Structure 1
């Protein structure tokens, strides 16, 4: 039904001046309309879309940069943690060595003090023994003198 109507178009359509393409004022008008439409679409539609796409690209670049920086920060943090653990271990070894040296030094000083005390005790003991022997020797002399005096008086009294 529609085909029949299309075929039965008036002859003025088919046999118009210029045929199928008419290059009068409609071609420049259509070109101007297309340019105006492009300008309107460009300002209203394409510029905002391009701005959003540019923002998205910038966001993606910033996100990639941020992820790289985050990875670097994590790597640095791990490196610092490792170095900190090593430093703590070294400090612990140094403290342990210093503690051992201090204990050894104190033990040696105590041993030296004990040796000095023993020497002093032996020396004092020897001096006391010498003084005791001297006192006994003087007492024996005095006892001998007193015994002679007493026996001289007893003999003199008996006579």
Structure 2
């Protein structure tokens, strides 16, 4: 080795002192005190306000969630009520429709039976009139037959016909 560098290395070894990497002198308690002081300052300056904001935010979120769940429950109740009202309205509408159909059928049946009765009466009256006209025609025909037969008899017997 170099003779010049040898005294320099021995000088450095002598100046380095005892202890090496961890030196337990007054700096260790000072560093511990600085760490504790930094922790306390950070707690009051940073952690507490941030945790306060986080708690407020969590409270706000929980409040919103509870309000949302209450509104959801209320919406479900309103939906059930609406569904029940809709079912009731449908049942009522169906019963009204069925009743209207029944009334219409009854009215049509009544009108049909009335029309049949009127037609039967008209037919009976027409038959009566036809029978009356037939009997009248037969009477006239008999009278005419009697007259014609009398005329034929008189002509055959020789009486003079005066018309």
Which residues in structure 2 correspond to 1:120-139 (within 5 Å)? Answer: 120-139=122-141
Report the number of matched residues.
125
Give 1:55's match in structure 2, choosing from 54, 57, 60: 57
Q: CA deviation at 1:44?
A: 2.0
Cα offset, 1:132, TM superposition: 0.7
Alignment of 1:72-151 (within 5 A): 72-151=74-153
Structure 1 gaps of 5+ residues are 1-29
Q: CA deviation at 1:60?
A: 0.6
Provide structure 2 residue ranges, at least 5 long, that are not aligned to the other structure: 1-32
Matches of 1:93 and 1:76, distance apart in 2: 25
**CA deviations over 1:86-126 (Å, ceiling 9, x no partner):** 11101111111111011001100110011001000000011
Partner of 1:25: none
SS, match of residue 158 in structure 2? helix
Aligned-residue offset at 1:77? 0.6
Partner of 2:43: 41
**2-structure distance, mates of 1:52, 1:125:** 106
Please say which of residues 45-54 and 132-141 is displaced more in the overlay. Answer: 45-54
Distance in 2 (CA, whole Å) between partners of 1:42 and 1:87 is 65
Query: In structure 2, what is the Cα distance between the partners aligned to 1:140 and 1:60?
Result: 117
Deviation, structure 1 residue 43: 3.2
Question: What value does the CA root-mean-square deviation take over the aligned residues?
Answer: 1.9
Aligned to 1:154: 156
Q: For the residues of structure 1 that align with 2:149 and 2:62, how far apart are their CA atoms?
A: 126
- Please give the TM-score of this superposition, normalised by the length of structure 1: 0.73
